Amino acid sequence: MQPHILFVDDEAALCEMLALYFGHKGCVVTTAGTIELAISQLQEHPFDLIILDLNLGGHNGLEVLQFVKARYPNLPVIIFTGLDADENLVKKCLADRADGFMRKTDGFEKLFAEVRRHCQVG
């Protein structure tokens, strides 16, 4: 069974690249560029994992994390951000029950390894 991943990021080109990359790795990826679209997608489809950016066009991705964990407490969420993440930001994400924290500079291979920790993927 292919894991269904929701990727929430306002960078359209990155969404497209990640969807292609993970598609070749055996995943189904749905993308959302706004908080509103992400919440709508969550209410309409079952997902196995969320990959979430923290800076969504001036909005805070932590709002999505809090929404997810309040309604879907067992749904894993990996933070994937381009923000300079100091120790306090990482601690805040983990305190809000993020299941992983990655920087965009870590690359797709490391992100895929993190996804494999949470989903059955080749």
Contact 33/12 with Cβ under 8 angstroms?
yes
Cα separation, 9 vs 57, in Å, equals 9
The residue count for the chain:
122
Higher-scoring residue by pLDDT: 89, 65: 65
Six-digit token string for 50: 């969320």
Q: What does the DSSP assignment read for 10-46?
A: S-HHHHHHHHHHHHHTT-EEEEESSHHHHHHHHHHS-
Domains and CATH numbers, the chain: 4-118 (3.40.50.2300)
- Condensed to tens digits (0 to 9), the pLDDT of residues 11-55 reads 999 999 999 999 999 999 999 999 899 999 999 999 999 999 988
Q: String of b and e for 82-120 (b: at least 16 CB within 10 Å)?
A: eeebeeebeebbeeeebbbbbbeeeebeebeebbeebbe
Q: pLDDT confidence of 122, banded at 50, 70, 90?
A: low
Six-digit token string for 45: 């489809």
Please state whether the predicted TM-score (pTM) of the whole model is above 0.75: yes
pLDDT exceeds 70 at position 81:
yes
